[in-house]
Structure 1
Amino acid sequence: MQRPAPSSCRPSGRAWLLAIHHRTDLRIAAPSTAVSRLFSIVGADTILRIYPTVQTVLAA
């Protein structure tokens, strides 16, 4: 199911995402432009492993 891209992210949401990242092998595949921008604004793009496509995640 496709969901609308978020326009903001609460600090608790960012904390949850980063906690999951530290506990698992979290990989983000093909985020929308809005999500990519949000990750960039909060600095998550420097921490999370973000891939342009599902195929690149599977190949990594």
Structure 2
Amino acid sequence: LNAQGTTFLIIEHDMDFIMSHCNPVIALSAGEMIFEGTPEEAQANTILLDAYLGAQASD
């Protein structure tokens, strides 16, 4: 359906699912958009990692 121009809104906390099925990825925290980009950019974004993991992944 995406190839036909259909847009989907998926609200999900399963990041593996999101990273394999969604582009772009948009993340909200406390009702505010904190990230918009590709799945690859999401996996490298420190603000997004801090919001969802509580600390940078390298900590």
Higher relative contact order (Cα pairs below 8 Å, separated by 6+ residues) = 1
TM-score (norm 2): 0.25
Bigger strand share? 2
Which has the higher Rg, Structure 1 or Structure 2? 2
TM-score (norm 1): 0.25
Bigger helix share? 1
